[in-house]
Structure 1
Amino acid sequence: MVREFREFILRGDVIDLAVGIVIGAAFGAVVTSFVGDILTPLLG
């Protein structure tokens, strides 16, 4: 079971998933900052 898990990790799927999560979190922070600092003052 440990060997199968190690093969799953080393295939790269988990690394791709982790990269996607990091990029998604960074994009979410950029959108939140844009709305809070630029869009809201223009509308309010």
Structure 2
Amino acid sequence: MAEEYFHLKVAWPGGRTSEGYIDAGNLQTKMSIPTEMDGPGIGTR
């Protein structure tokens, strides 16, 4: 079976109510904790 490797950078500069970032080459997106869990609900959860 062939192995595949994915390289990405993740930054989460704050606490529970902040947003983070994912950079994986062609994918750059924001992420955060969902509003149902008292987060900001921004971007990918």
Q: Which has the higher contact order (CA 8 A, sep 6+)?
A: 2
TM bracket (short chain)? under 0.3
**Larger strand fraction of residues:** 2
